[in-house]
Amino acid sequence: MLPTLRRSVLLLMYMGGGALIAGLVFPVAVSMETGTILGALLWLATDQWRQRQLLDWLRQFAESSDSEPQGVDKEIVLRVRRLLRQKNREANSYKSRLDNLQAMLQAMPNGVIVLDAQERIEWCNRVACEHFGLDARRDMRQRVTHLLRVPALVRALAARDMNNAFVVDGPLSSASNPLRLEMRLFSFGQAQRVLMLSRDITTIEQAEAMRRDFVANVSHEIRTPLTVLSGFVETLQTLALTSEERKYYLALMAEQSDRMTKLVEDLLTLSRMEGSSPPDMQEWTPLSRLFRMTMENARALSVLLSETETPGHQIVEEGLETSMEISGSVRELSSAFSNLVHNALRYTPQGGRIFVRWQPNGEGGARFSVEDSGLGIAPEHLPRLTERFYRIDADRSRNSGGTGLGLSIVKHAAQRHGAKLLIRSALGHGSCFSLDFPAERLRLPNRG
Ligand code: ADP
């Protein structure tokens, strides 16, 4: 009922009641009309007072109060209170669900941006801020295309392209710090809102590029000796050669096939190391045995390189007769030691000096180092030397039997044994390659 109507009805009723009361209580002193009016005004005042009390109470909505309403008002109050409690509970439950959802979206490894129908940012997670250089507070309610001037994104939003992923450069991407993002748009809700997802695919693209380079490099490395071999085969098949000439060609063929064998062996060594967990600490080997093997091979290579009966280099050994033992893979460790010594021999002209040292550091660890007086390396090459197939002088490397994988193998073997590879070199002044082994991998044998 409308308040005015209610009041009129009430007034009528009160007047009747008031007249009755006035007639009964004050039959002589007060006239009928005055009593009616007085009674009505009294009821009206009482009703107004109760309404105000109820309103005040509802405004405060006190859980418990000294002046709790009574009667019908009490029921109204109880029902309102119950309703409000229920609504509060619902609101709290929605809020906690919303908080959970936001926390979940924050924890996602992908960037998430929610746009309204006008493409203004409604919400974004931390990863999206990192991907696009956004500020979650400052950039709220801004049109995304004003903030991110990425043509592919502008096109996709304009076309409402919701099916196809597209790849963009992150706005903060640079040559030294590239950032490639795969993006996808989804529309949701009735208000044409858009969910923008971004995923960092920089490392995936880099790995893919490395894989392509690797396949191209391997193919190139194998194709060269193969071409030479097939040329010689043709020569042997078509030309009438003397036995001397045949011997010469067969020796050249053997050289090429050795080169391919060495390449395949190095590739297998690398893939074995990449595909397995680091060697455990159970197997202990005397280092002097490993060094003896390494140095025998080194002297043989030096003789081979000198093309005489004697080694072409002066090889100096220091501390290699150690009694220390090392734990790990004998095959990987001897491959690492040999690669370093062989490189020193291959990149040091005849007559040069090579020091091979084993130096305990006094704290249980020790350093294996190979220092040569050879060609040396310009500083710009140093950071890339351990990349597969990275060579400074490809011809020199190949002619001396190199595959371009030696230092890559050394680096992997070192990492798997907790050792660090250090390279010090100056162009024209020789190089020093060292491996620093941690104390956990070394021990002195128990002579007890
Ligand atoms: P490679 O089979 O070509 O020797 P590595 O991975 O062992 O492959 O070495 C990579 C490159 O590093 C070599 O091609 C060479 O240019 C350079 N290099 C390695 N060791 C030395 C060294 N001791 N002195 C000078 N240059 C070196």
Gap between the Cα atoms of 203 and 193, Å rounded: 31
Nearby residues of 66 by Cβ (< 8 Å), 6 or more positions away: none
| Distance from residue 144's CA to the centre of ligand 1 (Å) | 51
Cβ of 344 below 6 Å from ligand 1 = yes
| Distance from residue 428's CA to the centre of ligand 1 (Å) | 14
Cβ of 385 below 6 Å from ligand 1 = yes
| Distance from residue 304's CA to the centre of ligand 1 (Å) | 18
Which H helix or E strand runs over 121? strand 121-124
Gap between the Cα atoms of 78 and 203, Å rounded: 63
Gap between the Cα atoms of 341 and 358, Å rounded: 13
| Distance from residue 343's CA to the centre of ligand 1 (Å) | 6
Domains along the chain?
2-72 (no CATH), 108-200 (3.30.450.20), 205-276 (1.10.287.130), 279-448 (3.30.565.10)
Q: Length of the chain, please?
A: 448
Gap between the Cα atoms of 59 and 354, Å rounded: 94
Cβ of 371 below 6 Å from ligand 1 = no
Structure-block tokens of residue 120: 């203004």
Give pLDDT tens digits along the chain (448 positions): 445 666 676 677 666 766 666 666 655 555 666 767 777 787 788 878 878 877 777 777 655 555 666 666 777 778 888 898 999 999 999 999 999 998 999 999 999 999 999 999 999 999 999 999 999 899 999 999 999 988 999 999 999 888 799 999 999 899 989 999 999 999 988 778 999 999 999 999 999 999 999 999 999 999 989 999 999 999 999 988 899 999 999 999 999 999 999 999 999 999 999 888 999 888 899 999 999 999 999 999 999 888 888 888 999 999 999 999 999 999 999 999 999 999 999 999 999 999 999 999 999 999 999 999 999 999 999 999 999 999 999 888 988 889 999 999 999 999 999 999 999 999 999 999 999 999 999 999 875 4
Q: Which of 113, 85, 291 lies closest to 185, judged by CA?
A: 113
| Distance from residue 385's CA to the centre of ligand 1 (Å) | 7
Which pLDDT belongs to residue 9? 66
- Which pTM value belongs to this model? 0.69
What is the strand order of the sheet 314-318 is part of? 314-318, 353-360, 366-372, 431-437, 420-425
Atom 21 (ligand 1): residue with closest C-alpha?
Answer: 343
Which pLDDT belongs to residue 4? 65
Q: Which of 341, 347, 387 lies closest to 368, judged by CA?
A: 341
Cβ of 407 below 6 Å from ligand 1 = yes
Cβ of 393 below 6 Å from ligand 1 = yes
